[in-house]
Amino acid sequence: MRLLRQALLLLRSELRQELRDFELLLTAGFFTVVLLAMFYLSFASLQAKAHLSALPGLMWLTVAFVGVLTLTRVFDREREADTLRALLAAPIERLAIYLAKAAMALLVLMICCAVLVPGLWLMFPAGQAFADQPGQTALLALLGCAGYVAIGTLFAAGLATGAGKNTLLFIILYPLTTPVLMYALVTTRALLDRDPALPDHLTQMFLLDLILFAAACLLFETVLVGAPARAPGRRPRHPRRPDASVRQDMSREPSR
Amino acid sequence: MTDPMPDAEPRPAPVAAAGFRLSSVLPDLCLLAAIPLLVYSVHRVFMSTPIEQSMGTAFKIFFFHVPMGWLCMLMALIAGIAAAVQLRLRSSGAAAVALAAAEIGFVTGLGVLLTGPIWGNATWGRPWTGDARQVSTALLWLVIVAYLLLRHYGPRSSDRLAAALAIFGAVNVPIIYYAVKLWKTLHPSTGVVGSLPPEMWATFWPGLGGLLLVSLGLLGLRIRQLRLADELDAAWVQLEDPR
Amino acid sequence: MNETTPPPSKPGDDYAPVVGISQEDTATLRMLEGKAADKTARDYEHIVWAYGVLWALFAAYGLFLWRRSARLRADMNDLQRALDRTADRR
């Protein structure tokens, strides 16, 4: 309960910051529109029967691209002022940071989906199925984005503590999120085909999301706790000899 | 290792000095033992195994292709487990094991991905059929590459992040396979190998054993190298900054 | 075509006409044999490629390990020298 309250508190501060300049929403939303325009230019001449197999790919590619952008930006704010370390040292559950960030990214992605799905529907007639089953479409988008965000937040956070190098997120995230994205592809295709097995697919996606969230929650603290200060020059690897700040962090932890 | 206050003069690396005897000859033993097995296996494959009926001579690729696939999965699994240990116990040894296993997984995975299309071209007439096994192996290999990139180019604090990547990669393997299978049911798929006669299996096992020994031997060598590099790094740091 | 020999005159003769393989059959057989030989040769090419690729990969990794260990050895020698220098200075 305390965890949830703290997560909500952090989320509210994120939202307040967002409402001040709408940076995340505007950049991510604009990127979505740009991608849609590029897809239109590239694929408008496709034959109508090919639309059916192209649509799921277009949808989830967009989510993957916009997702990385969003996740990078969400943590860039912390990185610029090195506030993530301060947050980690603050007397709050570290999991709350993960939950707040994930919720924020999910929110942005869902708003982008609200642009993306109608856009696809307008451009490709096969997208009519999206309009016919709005509830299922929304659920599908939510589940797909949630799985993506579950993994993405963990790795974006991990890269946010080091200086620079967060272009690596692109390299890490795409191979790792393929299961979620493949599931989302399968389910989207089922939705477009008006397959009666759609609820089964949605349930499986939900279970997959649960697994990913659980794994990410388990790993979050271990991965982030006491990210050691960067030593200049050569980089020796001494996980056994953490520096002082790390040791303090460790001693605050209940022994496991 | 845990002693934070070293004397001014750096001591010789303790790991290299004691308690590491058996494991220091084990990799070489593995590699030595692999030689006769592999010779025997190649002899069997080319001289004394009947030609498979439906796939012809090209089927002989199977005897090295499939073990490489299994080894790639095994190495991904080892890397995942070692990464979990590394996170749990903050052990640099486990980090070395994970890195070494990922490197061997990279090599064996590349082997599978290169020989697979050669075989497919010979039997199906097409190098790539998008079969669930092909796609999931390729995706697993991509995860391994991402892990290696992160380990080599990531910021200093990314060792733990890389460990999380390895764990997710290992967890992903069955999910990817299942998802690709689901994805493929929308399209027709080609059948792969059915059941094999016993004499083919008799040829298969020595090859698998030989390749397993080679991989384990290389794994051991690489782990030893990485640990030595760690010790050297530590010694340099102590020399330059004897706090 | 081959059955140009006259039939036996006496019914009690145990003569049986020799029936050879027709030219077309022979041609078909040769063609099939050629195809099979071709296929086997091509398959062997594939196999040689596949096995070559595998051994080349392992060899490349071996080379990588060897170069790494050479670099480690050099590093170790440097360390030894540096240690000697510190000892001299003292």
The answer to whether position A207 is within a domain reads yes
Which residues of A are less than 8 Å from B177 in CB distance? none
Summarize pLDDT for A3-27 with one digit per residue, the tens: 888 889 889 988 998 888 888 899 9
Q: Is A165 on the interface with B (CB under 8 A)?
A: yes
Tokens 């292709």, residue located: B65
Amino acid symbol at A245: S
Q: Quick one: B181 and B102 in the same domain?
A: yes
The answer to whether position A240 is within a domain reads no
Q: Quick one: B157 and B167 in the same domain?
A: yes
Q: Quick one: B45 and B164 in the same domain?
A: no
The answer to whether position B141 is within a domain reads yes
Whether A182 sits inside 8 A of B186 (CB atoms) is no
Q: Quick one: B179 and B202 in the same domain?
A: no
The answer to whether position A182 is within a domain reads yes
Whether B111 sits inside 8 A of C53 (CB atoms) is yes
* Residues whose CB is less than 8 angstroms from the CB of residue B196 and which lie 6 or more positions away in sequence, other chains included: B204
Summarize pLDDT for B32-69 with one digit per residue, the tens: 888 888 888 888 887 777 776 666 677 778 888 888 88
What is the number of domains present in chain A?
A: 1
- Residue A50 reports pLDDT greater than 60: yes
Backbone angles phi, psi at A138, to 5 degrees: -65, -45
Tokens 């001579």, residue located: B57
**Most confident range, picked from A221-225, B163-167, C48-52:** B163-167
Distance CA A79, CA A238 (A): 24
Q: Quick one: B185 and B68 in the same domain?
A: yes
Q: Quick one: B187 and B156 in the same domain?
A: yes
Q: Quick one: B88 and B185 in the same domain?
A: yes
Range of the domain at B46: 31-50+197-215
The answer to whether position B73 is within a domain reads yes
Backbone angles phi, psi at B52, to 5 degrees: -65, 140
What is the number of domains present in chain B?
A: 2
Q: Quick one: B106 and B186 in the same domain?
A: yes
Q: How many residues does chain C have?
A: 90
Interface test with B, best of C42, C48, C49, C57 (most B CBs within 10 A): C57
Percent of chain A having pLDDT more than 90?
A: 37
Helix, strand and coil percent figures for chain A, each rounded to 5: 80, 0, 20
Secondary element (H or E) of residue C33: helix C23-89
pLDDT tier, A107 (very low <50, low <70, confident <90, very high otherwise): very high
Q: What pLDDT does residue B139 have?
A: 87
Distance CA A172, CA B151 (A): 11
Interface test with B, best of A148, A177, A185, A186 (most B CBs within 10 A): A186
Summarize pLDDT for B143-157 with one digit per residue, the tens: 999 999 988 887 776
Question: What would the mean pLDDT of C17-38 be, rounded to a whole number?
Answer: 82
Percent of chain C having pLDDT more than 90?
A: 18
Q: Is B214 on the interface with C (CB under 8 A)?
A: yes
Q: Quick one: B36 and B156 in the same domain?
A: no
Query: Among A88-92, B206-210, C65-69, where is mean pLDDT lowest?
Result: A88-92
Question: What would the mean pLDDT of A225-232 be, rounded to a whole number?
Answer: 44
Q: Give the closest of B88, B161, B180 to A158, CB-based.
A: B161
Q: What pLDDT does residue B185 have?
A: 56
Distance CA B174, CA B191 (A): 20
Which residues of B are less than 8 Å from C81 in CB distance? none
The answer to whether position A256 is within a domain reads no
Which residues of B are less than 8 Å from A203 in CB distance? none
Q: Quick one: B79 and B159 in the same domain?
A: yes
Q: What pLDDT does residue A164 have?
A: 57
Whether C65 sits inside 8 A of B218 (CB atoms) is yes
Backbone angles phi, psi at B56, to 5 degrees: 75, -160
Q: What pLDDT does residue B10 have?
A: 43
pTM of the model: 0.79
Portion 125-154 of A in contact with B at CB < 8 A:
151, 154
Backbone angles phi, psi at A69, to 5 degrees: -60, -50
The answer to whether position A237 is within a domain reads no
**Nearest residue to A159 via CA among B172, B146, B90, B98:** B146
- Residue B235 reports pLDDT greater than 80: yes
Range of the domain at A38: 2-227
Amino acid symbol at A159: L
Our answer on whether A and C touch (3+ beta-carbon pairs < 8 Å) is no
Q: Quick one: B35 and B97 in the same domain?
A: no
What CA–CA distances, in Å, run from C70 to B28, B75, B231, C76? 17, 26, 16, 10
CA distance B172 to chain A (A): 7
Tokens 């749990």, residue located: B88
End-to-end distance of chain B based on CA atoms, in angstroms? 15
- Biggest distance spanned by C-alpha atoms of chain A: 63
Q: Quick one: B164 and B87 in the same domain?
A: yes
DSSP string, A72-86: HHHHHHHHHTTHHHH
Percent of chain B having pLDDT more than 90?
A: 21
Q: Is A158 on the interface with B (CB under 8 A)?
A: yes
Q: What pLDDT does residue B55 have?
A: 66
The answer to whether position A250 is within a domain reads no
Distance CA A168, CA B143 (A): 13
**Nearest residue to B31 via CA among B201, B200, B224:** B224
The answer to whether position B11 is within a domain reads no
The answer to whether position A216 is within a domain reads yes
The answer to whether position B43 is within a domain reads yes
Average pLDDT in chain B: 79
Q: Is B194 on the interface with A (CB under 8 A)?
A: no
The answer to whether position A19 is within a domain reads yes
Which residues of A are less than 8 Å from B154 in CB distance? 159, 162, 165, 168
The answer to whether position B167 is within a domain reads yes
Return the partners of chain C (3 or more C-beta pairs < 8 Å).
Answer: B
Model ipTM over 0.90:
no
The CA dihedral of B128, B134, B137, B138, to the nearest 10 degrees, is 30
Q: Is B148 on the interface with C (CB under 8 A)?
A: no
